[in-house]
Structure 1
Amino acid sequence: MYKKICLALAAMLGLVGATVTATHPVHAEALHYAIAAQLPSNQINTSLSYFNLKVSPGQQQTLNVVLSNSDTKAHKYSVAAVRATTNTNGGIDYTKRGVKPASSLKADFEQMTPKKFTVSVPANTKQTVPVQLKVPTTAFAGVVLGGIRVQELDTNTSQAKSKGVKLNNKFAYVLGVTLQEVDDYSNIKPEMILHRAGAKQINYRNYITATLENTQPTVMHKLEISAKVRKAGSQDTYLSTTKSQMTMAPNSNFDFPISTKNHPLEAGDYTLDLTASANDGDVHWHFTKNFTITRTQTNKLNKSAVDLQKPTTSDNTLLYIFLAIGIVVLIIVIILFVVVLKPKKHKHPKK
């Protein structure tokens, strides 16, 4: 378990897109800054480049981050301690501070650290930035996962336009932080619950989403989900999707998306059938959930969705329409024949 945590976090020290993921790699030289951790004495694995700390209840310490500005001018940087969350792609995310926590979260990294702050670093200078850590006095189990996110404020924003919408690409470095109070917590297994299902719009596209939560203080690895949606009273699959190689942060939730494939949402009652497995198949779950999509929801979401296909009429409906038209035409012909075109009887004069 410990090795898996290390592998999951090894790639965390890198660039992440705050608003839109970059379509081309951005080199560190273009950003003119870098960050590194000053590893403290309670670092568990000194070969790691991020904070991997053994802590105790009530402990207070300073996490020192070395911020290097290699540019020829001074810059300002925002520094934010961010709790690990799970994004809709099924990946651990350190993008935003202040995301609503999962109901199962007991030890919140953002409650142990200061609010976002700003530092200024002169040109061609390395500066140590202290981030205060206050561990709760109540002991916690498992692992607490977070990151220290550093973003340059005055530059490094690229812009692009798509269909009249301006997109800002903001890049940042994230330095990982793991906290644990015991040496081995491999006895803690991930556990999943399904909160709800319903219609939702993500990046202007319509989805049916299943809100899932990892209720345990451990990372859920190699998550695979297969989901089907049926209309109420039908055994036919209306929508379906399968996705694997996902990861969930400890005590986090996310909306697993089932695409409508750009078809308009339809109001009605539905049933979600979802199966999931994780940790190389060691744990399994199966859920069913009934839900309703209202006419108000479909009108709102279909109106704002992009690239939405126009609804197609089923073959049976077209057949009924043609039959109705044929019957109407036949009735008109009969009326014309009987009323208008019927030969008139001529009266002959009496002789």
Structure 2
Amino acid sequence: MKKKIVNSILSLFFIAFIIWQSPNVAYATDTGMAYTYRIEKPDNQLDAEIGYFDLMMTPKQEQKLKINITSLSDKEQTIETTLDSAKTNSNGVIEYNQKNIDKDESMTIDFNNIVTTEKEIVLKPKETKTLEVSIKMPEIAYDGVIAGGLTLKAKDDDTTEKQANGSRVKNEYAYVIAILLRENKNEVKPDLAYRKTYAADRNYNNTIFTRIANSVPTYEANMTLEAQISKSGSKEILYEARQTGIEMAPNSYFDFPISMNNEDMVPGKYVARVNALIGSQSWNWEEEFEITKKDADKYNEKNSALTQETVDWKLILAIVTGFIVIVGIVTAIYYFFVKKKKRANKAQKKKKVNNVQKKKRKSKSDV
């Protein structure tokens, strides 16, 4: 009986573990790329060991870069190309293919204005073609770096997987090749600027964003940002955030997210106190901003609707299963000890009866 109880408990734990460990997100299957590329590094490449272009240029210089693209497919395919300047995303990471992020006002030389290429290239099965990228440098000399990237993506090369819950996961595959253009190696000192603070949402959570710009044409790394939000006229901290290891692209901005901890937005005037640190250099800002009633209503309604519609059935199932496991364990322990006690009482009672019978037999023999 004891062995059966132990086996039952282990079975309940095993079932709970399997249910809890089952993933509630869909993972894309890596189908691989149907083409590959190789860049031809020109003589003005600064580092021959890296896998992207880092070029030393001169004012008004014109140059063509060459990228050999090879099809690995038995079918004809079209490779689409896009060019974009380097930007900083809301995670504090540099990207080279984010057209949905606006350019910062400090950018005086736009990568897209001096670098051009074909919009697409058609490859026959197993064919290799050379894609040319044209550069035309501005007339005025400058310090720092003009940074951007070339994205290669097979046309319609994405997969859409339908999940059991009705959601869809779209996976896209692309190569991104950075292109960095310099005219000298002069040091450019960091210079950060405050742009604005505003309320919005991030992944359907009410969030305050503080926009900080890297206003010079150089990369910044290992930056630390801290921000505190208070009501205007008050020192009480309502929300705060800190992030380290931030990277910033040249002449780009970073929208630093400050979570509102799942609270509703309240219209009114607020103050953002922001501190930025790069090495031994620091910047501090204290700026007022406003959350309008229109914005508060919009984001509160949006987030409330999502909360009502989103039910994590896997979590509910795990909680119910955990409850059943606990009840099962308690019941099994109770059953085990009650049975044990009953057996002990029965044995003790039997022992007493045997003792009484022995005494009676002894009394008779004495007579």
For 1:207 and 1:230, the matched residues in 2 are separated by 14
Output the TM-score relative to the length of structure 1. Answer: 0.75
Distance 2:209 2:166 in 1: 28
* Distance change (3 Å), C-alpha of 1:217 and 1:199: same
Match of 1:314 in 2: none
Task: Give percent identity, aligned residues only.
Answer: 27
Counterpart residue number, 1:170: 172
The partner residue of 1:284 within 282, 303, 315 is 282
Q: Give the Cα–Cα distance (whole angstroms) in 2 for the partners of residues 174 and 80 of structure 1.
A: 9
Shift in CA distance, 269/285, structure 1 to aligned 2, threshold 3 Å: same
SS of residue paired to 2:116: coil
Q: Residue in 2 aligned with 1:295?
A: 293
1:99 offset after TM fit, Å?
4.5
Q: 1:60 to 1:163 in 2, by over 3 A?
A: farther
- 1:138-149 map, 5 Å: 138-149=140-151
Q: Distance in 1 between matches of 2:197 and 2:165?
A: 31
Mean Cα deviation higher: 82-91 or 66-75: 66-75
Instruction: Give the distance between the partners of 1:160 and 1:60, measured in 2 at CA.
Output: 48
Alignment of 1:186-225 (within 5 A): 186=187, 188-225=188-225
Give the structure 2 partner of residue 4 of structure 1. none
In structure 1, the partner of 2:20 is: none
Report what 1:84 is aligned to: 86
SS at match of 1:154: coil
CA separation in 1, counterparts of 2:183 and 2:32?
A: 39
C-alpha deviation, 1:23, in angstroms: 7.5
**Structure 1 residue 24, shift from structure 2 partner:** 5.2
* SS in structure 2 at match of 1:264: coil
Q: What residue is the counterpart of 2:274 in the other structure?
A: 274
**Cα separation, 2, equivalents of 1:164 and 1:106:** 46
- Of Structure 1 and Structure 2, which has the larger fraction of its residues in helix? 2
Matched, 1:257 2:257: yes
- Contact 1:262-1:308 within 8 A present in 2 as well: no
Question: Hey, what does 1:49 align to over in structure 2?
Answer: 51
In the alignment, residue 290 of structure 1 is paired with which amino acid?
E
The 1:23–1:195 alpha-carbon spacing in structure 2 relative to 1, beyond 3 Å, is: farther
1:305 Cα deviation from its structure 2 partner:
2.3
Match of 2:186 in 1: 185
Counterpart residue number, 2:102: 100
**Are the structure 2 counterparts of residues 82 and 194 from structure 1 closer, same or farther at C-alpha, using a change threshold of 3 Å?**
same
SS of 1:305's equivalent in the other structure is helix
Structure-2 residue corresponding to 1:16: none
1:157: Cα distance to partner? 2.9
Task: Look up the match of 1:237.
Answer: 237
Q: Aligned pair in 2 of structure 1 residues 42, 25: CA closer, same or farther (>3 Å)?
A: farther
- 1:134-162 Cα shifts (integer Å, max 9, x gaps): 11112121011111111111223334569
C-alpha displacement of 1:232 = 1.9
Structure index of larger Rg: 2
Gaps of 5+ in 1: 1-21, 310-351
Match of 1:112 in 2: 114
- For structure 1, which segment, 94-103 or 45-54, has the greater mean C-alpha deviation from structure 2 after superposition? 94-103
Taking the aligned partners of 2:139 and 2:198, their CA distance within structure 1 comes to 39
Aligned pair in 2 of structure 1 residues 173, 154: CA closer, same or farther (>3 Å)? same
SS at match of 1:243: strand
1:67 Cα deviation from its structure 2 partner? 1.3
Aligned counterpart in structure 1 of residue 33 of structure 2, from 31, 34, 38: 31
**One-letter code aligned to 1:226:** E
For the Cα contact (< 8 Å) 1:113–1:132, is it kept in 2? Answer: yes
Superposed, 1:310-321 pairs within 5 Å as none
User: Is residue 64 from structure 1 mapped to residue 66 from structure 2 by the alignment?
Assistant: yes
Contact in 2 for aligned 1:107/1:140 (Cα 8 Å): no
- Greater percentage in strand: 1
Alpha-carbon distance, 1:172 to partner: 1.1
Contact 1:209–1:255 (Cα < 8 Å) also in 2: yes
Assess, with a 3 A threshold, how the Cα gap between structure 1 residues 219 and 161 changes in structure 2: closer, same or farther.
Answer: farther
Question: Which letter does structure 2 place at the counterpart of 1:71?
Answer: S
Q: Aligned partners of 1:160, 1:291: CA distance in 2, in Å?
A: 43
Q: Which residue of 2 aligns with 1:324?
A: none
SS of equivalent to 2:64? strand
1:43 and 1:80 map into 2 onto residues whose CA distance is 22
Deviations 1:191-238 (A, max 9, x none): 111111110123333210111110111101101111110112222110
One-letter code of the match for 2:231? K
